[in-house]
Structure 1
């Protein structure tokens, strides 16, 4: 293995062994606390532009398989681990983690103190970092980081370019793709939905022309305020069709309704985040990946109701509209990876659609 270095924008330097691609790459350094699921993490579009570190000390031991991808093309800028298994052992394994990263031109670094790096991020917050060959000048690399502009086009990079259909005989769903995980599609097709996936910048008029029974807003990367056209689209479709949002879709829904969002110190990334349902007085374990959150105190001036909170830091995890059939959650009910405690939210969305349809049929009968 080649010697490689990871340099943070505050000047902290970690030296380790390189794996995957040999290219130099920079990005925002974040950590994920999951013990497994590195394949789903690497292929989650919500990590677009980020260098991802796994806090669990061993990754790659079960390789890469054909079934656990969350998108065809991974968008991460780098991968960090304490130890990487060179020869995986699992009946589903098709190739090693290193060979997969190399094939997708993603650099990795192992053999560093990931506990120390996690503590730095928790104390100082996420920051820019760069993975480069050990022979490169530290001073020049720090200058590169200092002049690196903030990414604002992550949603554009990860969204579908044009609409496409995943056919089914059930409810007709328009899925607005902000950087969608395939797990969301799997849950809808499992319920026999007819899904039309549209790009993030598809207009409200064109969405409604598709005559959907319901609209889903997917997860995605970056700051929700970087896609103002999507906020306006949500505002225009609200109340016209049942709506369900996840992660970035949740934040866009909140902004469309007059609430505000803010960047978190180091975000939520992992598969064991406890969330409490305030109405049911019930706690779920959830899979999460986000840098931004809805500001709780801004919900008061809106028509939104707080439905769920994170037990670790009391941040907003679920909201619904007071009058329209619309609800959203900050976490990932489709899991992939993670617990399936909140999988029932897709059924809740189906029930909401059926109730709205029944109401419309009743109104036609008595009209």
Structure 2
């Protein structure tokens, strides 16, 4: 007999289903992701720290879990919700099932609820504080716990997922041909990229390494002085969880780096670059999370389909004169990319490394490569 589990939102809504994965109780922000595939990459994306993630696609787990497609050493999210968890998996690369993976990493999951109703409520009311429990099944108690839980706004979640020391990165993409590696290696000429890790997905340094770069990953709170001692040809600002505004240490470092070395930021890194230049950010109603987000490249006039995962965005009205908008999200016209007018620095509010997702935006790595090539 499956064990009962419940999700309660701060607005008083309660959903009852059955538990998958670990047992216990967690709080977090209830959000959703519209991707049909890539659940393993979503589970291991550190940007989901502090969040309970709902998959909109109805059946999750059908192709199992493998040791190759992880985006970090372990899941960082608070909880995982699906309509139906497939107990049978079929994929030649799979070496385990979803439920066992959740149990191994102590992630509480919920299955068997109407995820369409949950997503519709989040889209209407916005992302909300929530509690997911297999131990406390009192609706009143759970709703009170959700109301008393911490908000995403103003919290420094990066401290919980960033590394504690610098490391050299050598792992490459496993699906590149020798011709691709050779072509991109010539472009980069072994330029040294220092990645400020705020909760970075591993497919990002894989892209740099596959292009022939020397890659060093450093903690997101490393000072500009210490970063420059690494003799970088370019500095990359990674994705990461939560509200960017409390991360003043990162903003100060980026501000000092501007003009010394080319800078490229993705997602949270894009927000931090904008904040360092004097812009402001704001919390989106329910965020952008999926692999089908259309973005308009203002310079080329092309539309690219992108992978996105963020709950905050750059406020265009607050942009200083030194920044210009380069990309726009076509769903809501929010800023999806900026470029510095004086220094070699740019960022995008999406994931060109696309793990999982489309490959439309790989050109951004090439653009950065041209700026840092020796």
CA distance in 2, matches of 1:149, 1:89: 39
Tell me if the contact between 2:328 and 2:336 (Cα under 8 Å) persists in the aligned partners.
Answer: yes
| 1:232 counterpart SS class | helix
- Aligned residue in 2 for 1:340: 359
| 1:224 counterpart SS class | coil
Q: Decide which of 316, 339, 342 is 2:335's aligned counterpart.
A: 316
| 1:340 counterpart SS class | coil
| 1:192 counterpart SS class | coil
Cα deviation, residue 133, structure 1: 2.4
CA distance in 2, matches of 1:264, 1:150: 14
Cα deviation, residue 24, structure 1: 1.1
Cα deviation, residue 25, structure 1: 1.1
| 2:87 counterpart SS class | coil
Give the TM-score of the pair, scaled to structure 1. 0.94
CA distance in 1, matches of 2:146, 2:64: 32
* Structure 1 residue 302 corresponds to structure 2 residue 321: yes
Cα deviation, residue 142, structure 1: 2.0
- Aligned residue in 2 for 1:98: 99
- Aligned residue in 2 for 1:271: 291
- Aligned residue in 2 for 1:326: 345
Cα deviation, residue 269, structure 1: 0.1
- Aligned residue in 2 for 1:362: none
CA distance in 2, matches of 1:253, 1:133: 41
CA distance in 1, matches of 2:372, 2:118: 46
**Correspondence list, 1:131-170, <5 A:** 131-133=132-134, 136-150=137-151, 152-166=155-169, 170=190
- Aligned residue in 1 for 2:84: 83
| 1:10 counterpart SS class | coil
Cα deviation, residue 136, structure 1: 2.4
**What do the CA deviations read for 1:13-62 (whole angstroms, capped 9, x no partner)?**
11111110011111100000001000000100000010000001110000
| 1:352 counterpart SS class | helix
| 2:371 counterpart SS class | helix
Tell me if the contact between 1:275 and 1:284 (Cα under 8 Å) persists in the aligned partners.
Answer: yes
CA distance in 1, matches of 2:135, 2:105: 22
- Aligned residue in 2 for 1:361: none
- Aligned residue in 2 for 1:55: 56
- Aligned residue in 2 for 1:173: 193
- Aligned residue in 2 for 1:235: 255
CA distance in 2, matches of 1:166, 1:141: 43
Cα deviation, residue 134, structure 1: 7.0
- Aligned residue in 2 for 1:189: 209
Tell me if the contact between 1:15 and 1:134 (Cα under 8 Å) persists in the aligned partners.
Answer: no
Structure 1: where are the runs of 5+ without partners?
358-367
Give the TM-score of the pair, scaled to structure 2. 0.92
What is the RMSD computed on CA atoms of the aligned residues? 1.3
Cα deviation, residue 121, structure 1: 0.4
**What do the CA deviations read for 1:221-245 (whole angstroms, capped 9, x no partner)?**
0100121110010000001101100
Compared with structure 1, are the counterparts of its residues 211 and 134 closer, same or farther at alpha carbon in structure 2 (3 Å cutoff)? closer
Tell me if the contact between 2:240 and 2:267 (Cα under 8 Å) persists in the aligned partners.
Answer: yes
| 1:156 counterpart SS class | helix
CA distance in 2, matches of 1:24, 1:229: 32
Compared with structure 1, are the counterparts of its residues 134 and 113 closer, same or farther at alpha carbon in structure 2 (3 Å cutoff)? farther
